Structure 1
Amino acid sequence: MKRSILSLVLIIISNLTFSQSKPNILWMVAEDISLDLSMYGDTIANTPNLDELALEGMIYDNAFAPVGVCAPSRSAIITGMYPTSIGTMHMRTGLDVGGWGKRMYNPNPSQKRIDVNDNAIPEYSAVIPSEVKCFTEYLRAAGYFCTNNSKTDYQFAAPITSWDENGNQAHWRNRKNEQPFFSVFNFNVTHESRLWMNVDKELTVSPDDVTVPPYLQDTQKVRNDIARHYSNIELMDDQIAKIIDQLKEDGLYDNTIIFFYSDHGGPLPREKRAIYDSGLKVPLIIKDLDGKTKGRMDDLISFVDFAPTLLSLAGIKPPNYIDGKPFMGSFKKELNEYVFGSSDRFDEFSDRSRAIRTKDFLYVKNYYPNKIKYKDVGYRKQIPMMVEFLESKENGELNEEQETWFTTKTEEELYNVKEDPYQMHNLISDPNFKKQLNELQKMYDKYQKKHEDFGEVPELEMVQKMWPDLKQPITALPRVKQTGNSIRISCETKGASIAYIISDSLMENYDYNSDWQLYSEPFNATSGKYLYLVSERIGYKASDIVIHKL
């Protein structure tokens, strides 16, 4: 009896130690939301579930996406790298939006993608530097069960090695008993497209109650679209409740670290795709284990900091190549002095701007000041207010602040973000801010010297280097070296990752939704079984599947 009790105590201690060293982590990711929530002082939308999460967690007041649109920003999240550092800054490269990605690409250049030299660009999957991995591979190698439900949109096809499950059914509930998990749930109900796709749904927020920013006209149509956005936020809050309820049903809520954030700023004109706070500043709430860390934090956080922070929380030292800094966990580093932002191609229109954002100022460097700020992106013109806005422009009905969106740029811009939260008043020629301008220019020059910027060459030239002759490179076949029962696998392609399945018999059906395991170190396998192998480097076409009889 005493031995049984002792064994039970040892098991409990072992499980506690395991859970503390490898905490469960959940991400709940909204789309296209600025600080449109009550914890940021905006009480228009009723979000009781996010309000409760905020009370139990840390609210970050200075979190930023690196680009004001989803795909480049999501590439930063999954790699820990600024998009300009890895060639993923153009929106969008192909159609790898969800699941395992589109593995066939249209090689014909399209007028829907035009670089700064007016060259048409084909679909492509970005070939990023060989050392850069999806950070989830490090988690999987450490024993985590990693799931994504379900958007990827990384500017490259999601490698088969990046997730245990990736799709609409992906869930932590499919893991092994006691296996730590990292699970992502994406909520698209607040996406820009829902401003017109949800037009027939009931508004739960009155258009009379919304605030119209100065860069938009105060018309009934504008108010209706803003009310639709807040109504969509309320729909999202209901969806978030379901995920939190599942955590609580499973007894996992207290020992799961929860992140809530948006993939970039709001969906309205001059928000999404903007290099200002309206496009880059996002909500971020983090509930720690047992809610032990609460309050507010004004530290500058960038999406490139997410990957190293997740690794740090899991007790994994982030690789040195990562641009970001861990702001939580065992390997927490000093605070950011600034965050970096960029703006390049958005669908049919290319440009190049870079930004340095401190707590007090925003500095923007424009490489094509002759181009106007407004990009006539066809997708955006489906927003009901956008048609009215452009008609008002043609009729000369916009005021001075609204008209600035349609003017050419200065080579540099400077904004006092505390005094000018919408960044409407450019201080670049104001002698009273000469000191601040010089400091930010030095920060920018220092950043540019330290980081490669793939935007320095036209996109077509970049793609031709990634895909010689505009043909997607192919990952070499994986190689197996078997010594007795010991299996060692390699691939000649630099930077390739390898996935495998061990089966008792020849499998009739296998695909990218099969139970592929990440190869991270040699392992032992029983003879007589069948080993299925595939190798893949990010941006390359995956190798054929190899079958090896053990």
Structure 2
Amino acid sequence: MTDLPNILWLVSEDCPPRLGAYGDPLARTPHLDRLAAEGVTWDAACSTSPVCAPSRFAILTGRHAESLPPAENMRADAHLPAGTVTYPQMMRDAGYYCTNNEKTDYNCDVDPAAIWDACGTDAHWKNRPQGAPFLAVFNSMLTHESCVFRPQEGQVRPGDVTLPPHLPDTPGMRQSLARYYNRIAQVDAALGARLREMEEAGLAEDTIVLYHSDHASPLPRSKRFCYDDGVRVPLIVRVPERWRHLLPSAPGSHVGDPVSLVDILPTLAAIVGTPPPGGIHGQPFLGAGAAPRACAFSGRGRMDERHDLTRTARGRRYRYIRNYAPHRPWGQHYAFAWLGAHYQDYEAAHLAGELEPAQGRFWGPKPAEELYDMEADPDAVNDLAGDRGHADTLRRMRGALDGHMLATRDLGLVPEGSGASAEAADWPEARLKDLMDLAALAIRRDPEAAPDLVKALGSDCAARRYWAAQGLLILAIDGASLPADIEAALEAETDPVVRIALAEAWGHAGEAEAAVRWLTGAAGASGNKIHTLLAIEALTSLPLMPQVTQSLASRLAVDPDEYVRGAAAYLERRLDGTYTPDMALFRFDLLGPGFPHILPEDPPAVE
């Protein structure tokens, strides 16, 4: 027994709250249900990102990833500034033996060996010095997205599942959801074994147990997307009697107030009684300093090969979403995700014209803002953003998100790959607010804003010029005429990211062939992964011209970078007319040895 509690930290990959503890009748999760019955369950817990690496950055640092670009983008490598404190460092300073078994994926240049006492498949609390309290993290890959790509045994059959109304009822969709239920049962058994191991060692009365997922499920409009389906996660905490005062309510209860995974670091500080590091964005949800959140905030930048900037605020009842790329459909092709039969079936039904309106929205352009009543509409089907009866709620949630973006210095509006990235860290708040205002104007789709957008093209700030170009691009896609000097602006522009946006706008404004030729040249000569991805994305949205782009697409389809390969392979198959949704474009044979998205090994049998 120590004066400080041990902390057993259990994490399941890509796992939504499809547990018995959350009222799911199909779930077979006895171990996690028992944990919930003996602890406290949060019903509106949210990850900061709908994909693993940016989410894990926020957990590690207590900071939203978009405050330190490019950490908000998938498979980025942000530089962690000197003096940034991570939670294992904080806990080791408090006297804890800290282990991580096995996943890191922090999206930054932190050295795991430097922050953990032990990190890897052999890392375990059993190896701690005698008398030392431990913090031991165990990550399970059993529910990773890739688990639904392969057949498996389980009690839940495709005919047993109920699909949400925004997804079509297809064999592949049912198959994937049934497989996911069965993997959740298997992860429950694996985490139950970790609990039993700790209890059999006689440590149950000295150990706080924390369980959550890094984000939610891989079904369409889930992983990679900022709905509850993508960012709402299970969060359960069991606290022994000695530290029961830390809980916000009695064991067995549910908490409806939102909470964020960025809150875990300050919560750990509250548990051990150490001051949290300065500059963090979270707040504790345990201990004397815990207070209800009004909103939990999440967002996304580039997910795999596709850019689709989004921000969202989740209150106890409402979710507000702001789409900074309303001209792009939700259903952009992701080579890895399309290995799942659920995405293949979904796109096939779309192409065949078989979808209901609520299901077909995924394949079209977005509104700038969305608002959902999650109590009345838990599947987020009825968008209330244009409902006069919810105008006050919309204004309140919009203001909450604006305030959060300023408070956390959200630099996600500075485009990835832009020359403005280096200087943005030192911007005063007024300059960031100015950029937010311009981006809000750009996504409004108001033709009368065109003169102001053209004027902003003359700014000395590349980020402002980018949002001016984005606004003009959105107007051009909507059919609005653009100023005649857009070509001159393209030729005068020096920032590659702004040039790509202007070239796409130029193409949609009536100069498609010239724009395709320009973008093809830019993609082929770039040498920069992000610029190449942006150029391919723009080419994919313009009229297809095989005679211009086919050779480039074929060459890039075997590029060393996995994301360039995926985007180029999709464009290549579209150009030659052979694309079908069930075509596997993700190249496992070209992956390097360190690639993290391996298909999981067969899981142990459920006990």
Tell me the TM-score normalised to structure 1 length. 0.73
Deviations 1:479-533 (A, max 9, x none): xxxxxxxxxxxxxxxxxxxxxxxxxxxxxxxxxxxxxxxxxxxxxxxxxxxxxxx
Does the alignment pair 1:78 with 2:30? Answer: no
**1:537 maps to which residue?**
none
Counterpart in the other structure of 1:284: 235
Partner residue, 2:184: 233
Q: Could you tell me how far apart the structure 2 residues matched to 1:217 and 1:368 are?
A: 25
Higher strand share: 1
Identity %: 36
Greater relative contact order structure (CA < 8 Å, 6+ sep): 1
Mapped partners of 2:19, 2:367: distance in 1: 33
**Following superposition of structure 1 onto structure 2, how do residues 73-222 of structure 1 map, counting pairs within 5 Å?**
73-94=55-76, 125-159=77-111, 160-197=113-150, 199=151, 201-222=152-173
Identify the residue that residue 247 of structure 1 maps to in structure 2.
198
**What is the deviation of 1:175?**
0.5
Distance of aligned partners of 1:399 and 1:47 in 2 relative to their CA distance in 1, 3 Å threshold: same
- Residue pair 1:81, 1:322 contacting (<8 A) in 2 also: yes
Cα deviation, 1:152-204, whole Å, max 9, x if unaligned, reads 1110244232100010110000100110000100011111101014x1x2132
Alignment of 1:279-318 (within 5 A): 279-290=230-241, 292=244, 293-294=250-251, 295-318=253-276
Q: Which residue pairs with 1:398 in the alignment?
A: 355
Match of 1:414 in 2: 371
Deviations 1:324-346 (A, max 9, x none): 0011135x232211111112101
Q: Residues 64-109 of structure 1, C-alpha deviation per residue, up to 9 Å, x if partnerless?
A: 0011111110101011111111225444235xxxxxxxxxxxxxxx
The CA deviation at 1:393 is 1.1
The SS at the match of 1:351 is: strand
Residue number in structure 2 paired with 1:454? 411
Which of 27, 32, 35 does residue 45 from structure 1 map onto? 27
Is 1:268 matched with 2:219?
Answer: yes
Aligned partner of 1:328 in structure 2 is 286
- Give 1:24's aligned residue: 6
Deviation at 1:244, TM superposition (A): 0.9
Range with greater deviation from structure 2 (447-456 or 243-252) = 447-456
**Is 2:386 the counterpart of 1:429?**
yes
Give the CA deviation at 1:60. 0.9
Q: C-alpha distance in 1, partners of 2:133/2:28?
A: 33
**Aligned letter for 2:5?**
P
Aligned residue for 1:446, secondary structure, equals helix
In the other structure, the counterpart of 2:397 is 440
Q: Would you say the 8 A contact 1:72–1:88 is kept in 2?
A: no
Return the offset for 1:462.
Answer: 6.9
* Count of aligned pairs: 419
Superposition deviation, residue 358 in structure 1: 0.8
| Deviation of the 1:264 alpha carbon | 0.6
Aligned residues of 2:414 and 2:420 also touching (Cα < 8 A): no
TM-score when normalising by structure 2: 0.66
Q: Distance in 2 between matches of 1:79 and 1:90?
A: 13
CA distance in 1, matches of 2:263, 2:401: 19
Q: Deviations over 1:251-281 (max 9, x none)?
A: 1112100011111111211111110101011
Letter in 2 for 1:245: R
- Distance, in Å, in 2 between the alignment partners of 1:193 and 1:223 is 16
Tell me if structure 2 keeps the 8 A contact 1:152–1:158.
no
Q: Distance in 1 between matches of 2:157 and 2:233?
A: 24
